[in-house]
Amino acid sequence: MAAACTLLLMHENFACAADSNTTVFVEVSATKIRPQPKYWSPGTADLVYGAPLTVLARENDWLKVRTAAGAEGFVNSSAVTERKVALAAGSDSVRIKADESDVVLAGKGFNEQIESSYRASRKDLNFAGVDAVQNFTVSDSTLAHFIAAGKLRNP
């Protein structure tokens, strides 16, 4: 089993989350649980950064998981980590479970300070457009219609 874990770490940068009842944590700002292990499968439950998930099984790059509320489905392994990344705030006894580098990685390399510096040095770029794209969402029904109309299929 240790050799299999080492191979998984080397090949996929993901440590043996295929073991039943392993806990993983969402490391992207938001994603969804899907009924099938496909990106185009409609979401059945929303997941947020830091949410703990129990791994039930692994299917290629997808994990079958269960949330604390009992929702089950699939999430891509690229959206989770075995390290606890949840941030807590709002009380004197708060402990931050992630350091700044974890938060920066979750934001794909940007934090507020870096973004402010970049905005100041690149006034020619359309940051309002970037913000609009980041805030743009598409409903599952609209996405399903787009997939059907375009005769797209999951690889």
pLDDT digits (tens, 9 = 90+) for 76-133: 999 999 988 755 554 333 344 555 444 544 455 556 777 778 788 888 888 888 778 8
- How does strand 62-67 pair with strand 52-59? antiparallel
C-alpha R_g of the chain: 18
Q: What is the pLDDT of residue 8?
A: 41
Query: For the purposes of burial, counting CB atoms within 10 Å of the CB of 10, is it exposed (0-12), middle (13-18) or buried (19 or more)?
Result: exposed
Q: What is the pLDDT of residue 155?
A: 56
Q: In this predicted model, what pLDDT tens digit does every residue of 31-70 receive, in sequence order?
A: 999 999 988 888 899 998 889 999 999 999 999 999 999 9
Contact 63, 55 (CB under 8 A): yes
pTM of the model as a whole: 0.57
Query: Strands, E, within 15-71: which ranges?
Result: 22-26, 30-33, 45-48, 52-59, 62-67
> Which domains are assigned to the chain?
18-149 (2.30.30.40)
